[in-house]
């Protein structure tokens, strides 16, 4: 079943939409949650929470790219769960990925900084679109998909040192880009 048909099932409030989503995208959603949480039970729960959130959001949402929509929901739910667990235990690979970005992406808690978050996201998206495809893919796989250096190297047939260097250079470019755009790091 194609994505448009699945979305139509959601819009018609047909419960088979969840079954079709799980059949087509279950492994995809579970892999995203597992990379972030590194716990099978929590990952399965996030996958199921994804289906519930999609059920509650469509309608009114009508995603153009259903797989990206599911991926974003799964990722956000998984990161929320990780943040809750973070007080007692850190998940090393995800925390390492996020810590690598701390030097080039400003973080803050004030209302003004929260308001600027959307602007920051737009600048980061524009920066990523300006990168060569290989650099963008490596960066997104590391910091959105939370793949390890080894997994990225295997996926693109690069050496681990090449992946590390690409990530370092891309983070430096991102940092310089954000400074140039007026973001204080």
What string of pLDDT tens digits covers the 185 residues of the chain?
999 999 999 999 999 999 999 999 999 999 999 988 888 999 999 999 999 999 999 999 888 889 888 988 999 899 888 888 775 554 555 666 666 666 665 555 544 555 566 777 788 888 989 999 999 999 988 988 888 899 999 999 999 999 999 999 999 999 998 888 877 66
CA atoms lying within 13 Å on the CB side of residue 65: 6
CATH label of the domain that carries residue 38: 1.10.1740.10
- For residues 82 and 132, membership in a common domain is answered with no
Q: State in Å, rounded, how far the first CA of the chain is from the last one.
A: 46
Q: Spell out the alpha helix ranges (H) of the chain.
A: 3-11, 16-37, 40-57, 66-86, 92-101, 111-130, 133-143, 149-156, 160-180
CATH label of the domain that carries residue 106: 1.10.10.10
Q: Is residue 185 part of a domain?
A: no
Q: Is the pTM of this model over 0.75?
A: no
Number of domains in the chain: 2
- For residues 100 and 130, membership in a common domain is answered with yes
- For residues 104 and 165, membership in a common domain is answered with yes
Nearest alpha carbon to residue 167 among 77, 97, 79, 83: 97
Q: Write the pLDDT tens digit of every residue in 93-135.
A: 566 666 666 666 555 554 455 556 677 778 888 898 999 999 9
Give me the domain span that covers residue 124. Answer: 96-180
């Amino acid at each position: 079943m194609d994505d448009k048909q699945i979305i139509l099932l959601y819009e018609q409030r047909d419960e088979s939409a969840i079954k079709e989503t799980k059949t087509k995208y279950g492994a995809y959603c579970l892999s995203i949650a597992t990379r972030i949480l590194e716990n099978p039970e929590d990952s399965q729960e996030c996958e199921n929470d994804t289906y519930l959130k999609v059920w509650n959001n469509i309608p009114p949402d009508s995603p153009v790219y259903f797989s990206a929509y599911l991926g974003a929901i799964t990722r956000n739910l998984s990161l929320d769960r990780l943040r809750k667990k973070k007080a007692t235990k850190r998940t090393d690979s995800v925390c390492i990925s996020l810590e690598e970005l701390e030097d080039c992406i400003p973080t803050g808690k004030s209302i003004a900084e929260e308001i600027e978050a959307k602007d920051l996201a737009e600048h980061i998206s524009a920066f990523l679109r300006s990168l060569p495809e290989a650099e963008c893919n490596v960066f997104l796989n590391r910091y959105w998909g939370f793949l390890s250096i080894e997994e990225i190297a295997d996926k693109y047939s690069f050496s681990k040192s090449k992946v590390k260097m690409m990530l370092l250079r891309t983070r430096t470019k991102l940092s310089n880009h954000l400074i140039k755009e007026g973001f204080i790091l």
